[in-house]
Each structure stands twice: as structure tokens, then as C-alpha cells.
Chains A and B, each alone.
Chain A
């Protein structure tokens, strides 16, 4: 109806400033952790955690601790009226006195002050007998492992029927080397994909390359500490202020399911969040705090220390993979034989781990006729894992991309051209058999390669710093995660409210929603106020994950704004006396066709209330015209025995990077000299915030691929649980601004709002393989494990030198 070329207020593809920027630049915006100051009479919560990875508790006496003045209550499994076995994974207490990871909660305290709670923590008498533990994929996969971890925590072999996500594919019978007789009892799920005939295709291949890879454990390390405040209200309801994600779909639903509260007795409020990156997709701190508040009928608050974020909150899961490609001599990959194992820690999480999540990255980029994937998930005595930007794809695709680089090197083909030969094309199908409707990966890769002049070898300066260049690409699925709703309200003065419940972890979602509403309504963005994150005010949205927000919530906002427009059209048509189709809404005005009245001001449709005009029909001032948008992606379709299905996920986002590094051959240090990273965002709604995601994602990934690594002591506990020893990238790791290039190469997504899709996860995927290849080009060693710390790279260099000396 309305022609966008006429729309003076089209903000799509423009970069209006962020709607939350003023709040954040002035310190006026409140974060969850700021509410500790604002809530009166707040009890403070602390948790005693298992100091070792696996033990049997032999003594747990809290009597001395509970006698400390100010201590209100201490719960252990035996002392709690709550089902501690129903608490979320990361905060599940030990069953039968057996702790299965270092950091598992053993006792929880509420006291009048933090000091008293900490005193009580120290006064708890805990004795235990240590048991053997397994801490990594290799130990866990041993058919006779040192420790058998029961990830279903006392419910071995059973599936949590209350959680529909917990059983996807868990009971599938598969032909897997990781299933059946003689495999480790720590394997808890499998997924197998079979397409074509890999065995036959390998025989026809001119060249076969193969490698084994493993990726390390990484911590999200958002700068705001996990925090929750739960107030107990006079009507026996609770209000939660927290920095967890999903006020409806995660936190409120957890409270209802765990504590069996009526839905109307819970209010969840999400102030600004100081980062998440996936860490806060499962509820943990909120549940512990609510449990104490509900029992004591008093308001409670709990903030993790930085150390607790390493022992009581999820890590990204490590992934082992084996990649074997068979290719023709001109570089066409005809066979992919792929294993992967994801290590999930001590408890099955709220998603079902079978290897399917991580391996999704291995079939979404390249068009390969014959694929065999054999994947599994395995439990260890480590902190239960959780989603981290990329959901296993930076891990699973690392090996794929390194092998693609090796294939290019071995065949003497450019790493760009060999990929271009193999990419899935728009309209084609991925490994599952899904129709691909948006894939901009080739444009992304070519743009990055051009930006750093990838094909020209770097100049060496004769120093110990050797230079090399490398590239990689990545694809990441969007998981359909249910419904998002939005309410858009249009007032008589053409001011607008947008009510949403998606999470704003910092990615710019609020601004994008304001842009979408303003663009549909053809109003200045200044007219739009975004109201977010209060469960009794803002409508349902599951949670912001899998880069779904722009797509799912964005579509809901678009629908809601279109409904507003439709209602305004109707109102104007009735006022003038024409058919609704003869009215075009442009911002605060309605253009009328076929009438002597050519234009009316929408404000005039809103009546005042007066003695002669009671407002019994039509539009009224202070009563906005309201549109309610609901958007939900289509459901997936269960795959068959061969793992194939027409709909395993939703759409896919793509990215590429190319970089030049310098490697110190005497120390193994790596410096990124120049990096270009590109995202296929679909049509970007706000290019500047997209750039921010590209830059942030690139450095976050470079940080964890070069240096982030928890270190365990002999008891299986992490010892570097602080930012001094678990270092994340600072500004000095970032290349200088002229050498840090972000590029956007969209392939519009047909069902995205204005063709947009999410993009923030895939950007992390190409960084590791680009680094690995650039390091190889510089010093001749190819890292197959990350983090690629200086120590590891130096060891590889020394091994290579030793081997060369042997051969002389």
C-alpha cells in the first residue's frame, strides 16, 4: 500500500544512534547490580560449593554457622523443603551426598549482611571423601573411565518429560561408533547423519586429507557479575530484578515450574544487562535467590563473585572432532567423513546434547554429495556447560576450515577459490536437505580476501616475527525457539510506545526495534519509546538466543506496527466515509483517495472527553491505538534414521575472515596485524551496530582462541578463576583501527523483517581457522587445538625443528 520510496522516515539500513546510549554514557541507566542499593531490607545470599570435582560428603554440619547472629537460614539437601533435584543444572545440589563437579552447590545461606553470610560460609563443617574424576573428552570417552558421571543426576536413563527440549533425539537408536557395546558409559547421546555413500566417494577421490581437532573450555566473561534480587511482596508474590535472559521464557517459567507458583504471582524485570554471550540463557542465580525469598518470605539478593562465575556458571563446551575430506584434484570436495563429540560437563542441560548442536556447523557451508557424520555428547566432572556465542559451531567448524585450508595448500589452489567451488548456493540444499534461502558467504570471503590482499604473501622483515596470512568462513544455524510478541501503541500526538521482552545484552536490539517501528509507521525515530523487560507490562518473548532477536522479535514489532497502521486506516476511512483501501497512512497524516478531503491529520481522529463527548466510540486522546504482533518460526521436522530432514533448523547466518599475523618463532607469541571480517546479515537494519558485532565478535573469538583457558588442579577445580589469570583480550590485542576492517555482505532473508537476519554468532567462527592458517603460513606449523597459546605454538615449532634436524 505505502510506497517506501515516499517514506521520509525509513530507518532500515541507516544507523540512528542507539536508544540506550545516553543512559549508558552518563551512568544513569540502571543495571541489575545497581538494585542492591535500591531495595530496602535485603537479605544476602551466599553458597558453599564443592571444592573438588568428585567426592562423597561424609559430614555436613551447619549448626555452628546457623547460630551466627544475622544468619536467617541455611539449606542443604537434607534441610530444604524444596526439591533440590529440580533446581536448574548449574545450581543442582548433590543427590545422595555425591558432588560431581568442583563448584557444585552444597549449602545456601541467607543472612542480614554479606559479611554475616560470608562468616557463615566459613563456619560450615564440611568433610568429604574424594573420588576419581574425568575432566576432558579423552578421559571421558575411555570405555572404562576413571569416573562415571550420571548427567541425569540420579535419574539415569530417564528423560525429564516436563522439558520438551530435553528429549530431542536423546532416545534415537543410531549406528554410531559412540553407541552400543563397549563404549564409555559417559556417552549420553548420539546423532548420525548419512547422505550419499562416503566410502565409495572416498575411493574415487584424487586426494584425501584428515585431521583431529579439539577445542578448549571458555568462559563468557561478561563484565557485570551475575546478579539477582527477589523481593517478597505483601500479596505473597515475588518480583525478580536480574541480569538473566528471558524474563518470560526462562526466568518466569523456571519459577513457575520449580516452585509451582501461580503465573500471576511472579514479576520479572530485566534492567540493562552487562553482557551475556549465552551465559545467562539458563536460570541459576535467580532460582537460588527466589528459593530463599519464598521460604523466608523476605527479599533476598545474590551477586556472584568473579570467582563464582567460573565455578557456578556455565562454560562453553569443548568439542573434539575428526575431519576427513575426499576431493577431486581441481578442489571439489566429494566426501566428508566427520566425527564430533561435545563435552557437556556433569549434568544434562536444558537442551539435549547429542552432538547434533555442534555438528550443525559442519553441514551448512559446503555442498558435499556424500557425508557421514557420527557425533556424540559425553559427560565429565566439570561445570555443566551452556550456550556460548556460536553454540558449538566455532568449535565444530574449526577442523572443517583448517582441513579446507590444508586441501587448498596441498592442491596449490587459492583458499578462496577452493571454497567458492564448494559453497552451497542460494536455492540449493545443505547437508540435512534443507532449502537454503539466504547465503552470502562467498561475497563475505571475497571481500575479506580483497581487504587484506590475501593472495599476496606478506613481506618478511628478517626478524624473529614471521608473518603469514590466512582465511576461513563459518555458518551458524538459527534454532527456532518459539514465539516473540510485541505491542506497538500510537498516541494522538503521534508518539509511539514499543513494548518488547527480548533481551538487550548490548547488541542493539532496542534500537533495531525502534527503527522497525518508526519505519513501518513512517515517523521520526525520536517519536518512538522502547519499553522493555517487565513481565507484567511487556508481552511474551521466549529469550534472545541463537541470533533470533532481529528476526523473531523484529518480525513481531513489524506486525504490531502494521496492525496499528491498519487500524488508523480504518478509523480515517470511517471518519471521511471511504473504503479503507482508499486511505494511505504516512506518519501522522492520512492521504485519502477519491474524496474531496485529500488529507487528514490523524490527531484530529482522537477525541477529547467532554460532557457532550464521553468517548463511547472511536479513537480517544490518551488511549493509544494498539497493535499486537506475534511471530513464531515454523517447527522443525523430526529427522529419520539417516539424520536427514527438510527442516532441522531455521535459516543460517554466514561470515568470513582473513587476517595477517606475526608469529614470534622464539616465543610462540602471535600478534594480529591486520584483520578483515565480514558478516552476511541479511539486510542490516543498523549497519553501525552490525559493525560493532563484527568487531566485538572478532576480538572475543581471537581472545579465546589465543589465550583463554581454565587451568585445573589435581582435585579437578579451576585455579585461575579471576581476570588476572584468566585473561581476556584488552585493547592491545586489537589491531590498529586502519588494520581492523569490518564488512557487511548481505544476502537478504526472504522471511526476515525487511530481509534482515541475525548475525552475531557466525562472526566468531572463521577467526580460529584464519589464525591457524596464518600461523601455518608464518612458521610452518598448523595448530589443531585452541586456545593456541604461545606455549602450544612454541612446542609445535620446536617439534617441527626437531623433526627437521632428524631428517637432515
Chain B
């Protein structure tokens, strides 16, 4: 049972805004993002880091938030799907996922977009094989993955053109 005695204070940044939470240490980053901060675009699908729907970006790395204890988030910079659209303008990945029909039920979509963003931020010009390698921790039961890859390739090209 949790009591306030063992609660911890964790300060980190979510979508460029500072956040401090006072919470039980056995909670995950996923729990806090969804339940305390209301960022329900971060999804929950399996609890053991196998499906990837809870993927967020922590300090530039695609991270499965179901397997990160909240204490580990101290001092980090976290990006969720809610942080991608800026001033009404979609991130190129969001735009291309929409335009390439890379979305069906949509439950895996935020995780895929963030995993892809972490990849493109690190490697602006990945090959198809590199994209596949970066995404194989994210599962999708609907699309067969082809249109997801096409969308990421298109976003890669958009971002290269903008750079």
C-alpha cells in the first residue's frame, strides 16, 4: 500500500513545460502521463514493453513509458504526441501518417509517430531498412506496416527539404 511517507517528488519537462509531481515511487511514467497529467494520447496496451503503444521520447530516445518508473524521469525532457502539433501546424510525421493512410484503428499511431520522430531527429536520412530497424518494437495489428513506412519516408523527405 502506498502512503504519502514514501512518496517522491519528481521534476521533469513534458512537451517543453516544467512539471513536478508528488507520487508513489512504484508508478510508471505511463501512469503519471495518462492519469495525473491527462496526456491520454499516450496509450497503454501490454505492461511489458512488447507492444510499443506507450512510446514517448525521453531525452531524445524513443522510450516505452510503461517500463520506466516515474523516479527515472527526474530531470528528463519528455515529448508525447500532444507536444508535436505546434500553433495548429502538424508535425510532418503527423501530416504524412494522415496523407498516406498509415492510420487505421489508430491505437498504435502515437507510439509509431514518436518512435519515428526519435529516429529522424537522430538520423535525418534513414534508409527503409533503418526505419524498419527503428520501428520493430512497435506493433500494429491493422496496417501490415507498409503505409507506416511510406509515411515515415515521406516525412523524412519533407523534413530534409525544410532543413
Contacts and interface: CB of A to CB of B under 8 A. Distances in A.
Report if A and B associate in a common complex.
yes
Interface of A: 15, 17-18, 20-31, 33-34, 37, 115, 220-225, 272-275, 277, 305-306, 505-508, 688-689, 691-692, 694-700, 722-724, 728, 730-732, 734, 736-737, 740, 742
Contacts of B45: 223-225, 274, 306
A133 B138 CA distance: 37
A699 B146 CA distance: 10
Contacts of B65: none
Contacts of B105: 222-224, 272-275, 505-506
Given A115-B1, A223-B107, A697 B144 contact: yes
A722 B48 contact: yes
B43 A274 contact: yes
Contact of A723 (B48, B132, B150): B48
B108 interface: yes
B101 A732 contact: no
Contacts of B128: 736-737
Given A26-B90, A27-B110, A723-B51, A688 B101 contact: yes
10 contacts: A27-B110, A37-B34, A225-B45, A274-B107, A275-B104, A306-B47, A506-B104, A731-B138, A736-B128, A737-B150
Instruction: Tell which of A15, A29, A696 has the most Cβ of chain B within 10 Å.
Output: A696
B142 A692 contact: yes
Contacts of B80: 27
B40 to A, nearest CB: 4
A731 B41 contact: no
Interface string B134-162: 01111111111111111000000000000
Contacts of A30: 40
Contacts of A731: 132, 135-136, 138, 140, 145, 148-149
Interface stretch (B5-13, B69-77, B91-99, B118-126): B91-99
B117 interface: no
Instruction: Tell which of B34, B81, B139, B146 has the most Cβ of chain A within 10 Å.
Output: B146
Interface of B: 1-2, 34-35, 38-48, 50-51, 53, 80-82, 84-85, 90, 94-95, 97-99, 101, 103-110, 113, 128-129, 132-133, 135-150
Contacts of A736: 128-129
A740 B113 contact: no
A630 to B, nearest CB: 28
A223 B53 contact: yes
Nearest to A695: B144
Contacts of A272: 105-107
Nearest to B111: A223
Contacts of B2: 115
A26 B94 contact: yes
A661 to B, nearest CB: 16
Contacts of A695: 143-147
Contact of B109 (A24, A222, A728): A24
Nearest to A726: B50
B44 A700 contact: no
A320 to B, nearest CB: 27
Nearest to A507: B104
B107 A15 contact: no
Contact of B141 (A17, A223, A225, A273): A223
Contact of A274 (B47, B101, B106): B106
Given A18-B101, A692-B143, A731-B145, A506 B106 contact: yes
A790 B129 CA distance: 24
Contact of B44 (A33, A697, A699): A33
Contact of B136 (A20, A722, A730): A730
Given A25-B113, A272-B106, A696-B104, A740 B94 contact: no
Instruction: Tell which of B34, B82, B101, B109 has the most Cβ of chain A within 10 Å.
Output: B101
A31 B136 contact: no
B6 to A, nearest CB: 14
Given A31-B107, A224-B107, A225-B45, A17 B99 contact: yes
A274 B106 CA distance: 7
Instruction: Tell which of A21, A225, A305, A694 has the most Cβ of chain B within 10 Å.
Output: A21
Nearest to B112: A731
B143 A20 contact: no
A734 B150 CA distance: 13
Given A275-B141, A689-B101, A700-B144, A25 B48 contact: no
A25 B98 contact: yes
A430 to B, nearest CB: 29
B81 A692 contact: no
Contacts of A24: 103, 106, 109
Contacts of B44: 33, 225
B106 A306 contact: no
A551 B88 CA distance: 37
A584 to B, nearest CB: 34
A728 B145 CA distance: 13
A454 B2 CA distance: 63
A306 B104 contact: no
B21 to A, nearest CB: 15
A26 B139 contact: no
Nearest to B45: A223
A63 B97 CA distance: 53
